[in-house]
Amino acid sequence: MTGSQIEPDTIQAYRETAYGIAGDQPFDLHIDVFSAELTALHAARRVTCSAFITACNPLSRALDEHSNQRRHDRLRRELERCSLAFVEGTGVHPSNHWPGESSYLVLGIPLEHARELGTQFEQNAIVWSDADARPLLILLR
């Protein structure tokens, strides 16, 4: 029991998803699994935390590609407005046929600010990592 309003199957899908980070040396993040690549990225960008956030498919309601792209663009503008550094990413479940969700790995964002952004963009959860580079699933409802 999680005490969350989110369906257990949805939470399990989040735990199984690969959170892909784009860039010169792409890599995947996995919930509760240490990432040497994330450690290196944190060091290169001189931050001690990051959050993987999407604006797609609010509250796990599937939207069309155009609507998701508009939401993704809005999230990008909000990150820029807040002067936050970020890297493109995509969350992809290995087998449930849910389309990959365009996302951002936001660098140096404190947990509370990451929660606020996730809530603002109507997400069930975000993925957050501190200096230990072990991504955590943070449920928002």
Q: Rounded to 5 degrees, what are φ and ψ at 136?
A: -110, 140
Model pLDDT, residue 2: 61
Residue 110 belongs to some domain of the structure: yes
Residue 74 belongs to some domain of the structure: yes
Q: Which bin fits 19, alpha (ψ -120 to 50), beta or left (φ > 0)? A: beta
pLDDT below 50 — which residues of the chain? 1
Q: Tell me how many domains the chain contains.
A: 1
Residue 2 belongs to some domain of the structure: no
Range of the domain at 13: 8-139
Model pLDDT, residue 111: 98
Model pLDDT, residue 70: 98
Model pLDDT, residue 97: 78
28-48 per-position pLDDT tens digit: 999 999 999 999 999 999 999
Residue 96 belongs to some domain of the structure: yes
Residue 3 belongs to some domain of the structure: no
Whole-model pTM: value is: 0.94
Sign of CA dihedral 113, 35, 138, 20: positive
129-140 per-position pLDDT tens digit: 999 999 999 999
Model pLDDT, residue 96: 75
Q: Which bin fits 108, alpha (ψ -120 to 50), beta or left (φ > 0)? A: left
Model pLDDT, residue 121: 98
Model pLDDT, residue 88: 98
Model pLDDT, residue 95: 86
Model pLDDT, residue 99: 85
Residue 1 belongs to some domain of the structure: no
Q: Rounded to 5 degrees, what are φ and ψ at 138?
A: -110, 110
